[in-house]
Every structure is written in structure tokens, then in C-alpha cells.
Amino acid sequence: MERTFVAIKPDGVKRGLIGSVIKRFEEKSYKIIGLKMMNVSLETASQHYAEHNGKPFYQTLIDFITSGPIIAMVIEGNNAIAGVRHIVGSTKPDEADVGTIRGDYSSYSTMNIIHASDSSQSAQRELHLYFREEELCSNYKTMFEIISDELGGIK
């Protein structure tokens, strides 16, 4: 099973889209093994966006992610990084397909509702920025996993 990091950004929280966003992942049978609402500190924000330090939009990213609470999540499942990115949609809302989170809910590049790790390396780095291992609850089974086990595994 692969793990990835997802954050509902301050605009998604302020607009009351938390349940709608989480529902997208659950409907695809991804398992949410870590979930918390939090304010992102300047230190965490600067570590999160370190690769963009020195770029003209860096401070805008920092200001936005620290402007209000986020919902931080760890999502687990088969091919979770690519699958979650597909559900999230293109970073640029005007290029995001209808049916994706960004295609359905966002209008601006900076305020695009959600962040999802773009690679295995990013996922590992971001997971450790926002969660300690003991905060994760991967030892429960979703209904999909229970049914799959009963049927001898679904491929």
C-alpha cells in the first residue's frame, strides 16, 4: 500500500468543502489513516514550500497556507499518489477536468482548494512534516477491504 499527503487548504476549509473533498477519496476506496485540522506555522510552511524559495510566488504560497486552518490527511491505498492526484486535478483550475476537485471547486491558481503530494519523495517529506507515525491509524479495515478479504482478494 502506498501513502500520500493531502491538505485541504484554507480556502477549502473556509468554503465548507471539507466533507465534499473527503468524500471523493472515500468513494474511491482510499483509506484515510491520518486526519487533523491545524494551523500551519511559518516554519512548517517554509519547509513545505522549500523547493520554491527564491521564486516570485514563494511568499504568496507562504502567506496563503498560513492564512487559516488546513485539514491535513494521510491517504493510503493502491497507487495512492497518482490516484489521488487524478481525483485532485490539474494545479491550474482552468485546466482541471470537470469532475476533479479543482475542476469543480476552484477558480484561482493560488487558492485551488487542495494540495496533494506529487511524488513518492514529496509524499514522504510532507507526511513527516505534518504527522508523527504514532498519529496514523492504518490498522483498521475499510468495508472494501473486508469484502475483498471475504472474496479471496480483488485484483
Helix, strand and coil percent figures for the chain, each rounded to 5: 45, 20, 35
Q: How far apart are CA 155 and CA 44, in angstroms?
A: 38
Q: 10 Å Cβ neighbour count for 30? A: 25
- Please provide the DSSP assignment of 97-148 as one string: PBTBHHHHH--SSSS-SEEE--SHHHHHHHHHHH--GGG---SS--HHHHHH
Catalytic, 52? Answer: no
Which of 48, 52, 86, 115 is catalytic? The answer is: 115
Radius of gyration, CA atoms only, the chain: 16
Q: Could you say which DSSP state residue 82 is in?
A: H
Residue 51 one-letter amino acid: E
Positions marked active-site: 115
